[in-house]
Chain A
Amino acid sequence: DVKVTQSSRYLVKRTGEKVFLECVQDMDHENMFWYRQDPGLGLRLIYFSYDVKMKEKGDIPEGYSVSREKKERFSLILESASTNQTSMYLCASRTGYPYGYTFGSGTRLTVV
């Protein structure tokens, strides 16, 4: 069974902290994505990667960076957490176009 695993379900961090959100998939998928989900705004794309070492900015990359050193792992980094980054973060992967995404369970991040 296809799996996307996000390392934390809930996180509470302080303003200014560097935060790492980890995502691992076991499906040998090429493409990986990070979204944030906020009420009334839906899913917004932060960063994505179509291959190892490759990364592309999504629609809202400011304040974030990513790392993809291995095919199965895609990390989202909040360089200096701020309260407006409090959100649900969703990782997704797919084998490529034109297939659908498999999502992780999400990480609910609260920045205080």
Chain B
Amino acid sequence: GESVGLHLPTLSVQEGDNSIINCAYSNSASDYFIWYKQESGKGPQFIIDIRSNMDKRQGQRVTVLLNKTVKHLSLQIAATQPGDSAVYFCAENMVGNTGNQFYFGTGTSLTVIP
């Protein structure tokens, strides 16, 4: 299948600092992207999404940036807190070999140092 996300596997940040998690997606025709957060032992949870007609979208303490020119997506977390420690996945929605659905990266593990 398609693959998404040339992530660094781990990222450590000090509490209170900003975090940036990057993702390279595979298909220039992808039109919808989501960042998910997965805490240990739990299923992924939606954080924020962005459609391909946008460059930036902000949520509460999170911002997603989309650069379609280089097929790059980033998640910025402001004032990172211990509760932000988790694995973060990007997902792109596209039509692939098995229909119209999301393809996921392998994830970046974020550790917040108190």
Contact = CB atoms under 8 A, between A and B. Distances in A.
Interface of A: 4, 6, 9, 31, 33, 35, 40-45, 48, 50, 56-59, 90, 97-98, 100-106, 108
A56 B32 contact: no
Nearest to A97: B100
A48 B101 contact: yes
B106 interface: yes
B89 A56 contact: no
B45 interface: yes
A45 B101 contact: yes
A100 B106 contact: no
A42 B106 contact: yes
Interface string B25-65: 00000011010100001111110010100000000000000
A9 B44 CA distance: 14
B98 A105 contact: no
B43 A105 contact: yes
A68 to B, nearest CB: 15
Interface in B58-114: 89, 91, 93, 97-102, 104-107
Nearest to B106: A42
A42 B42 contact: no
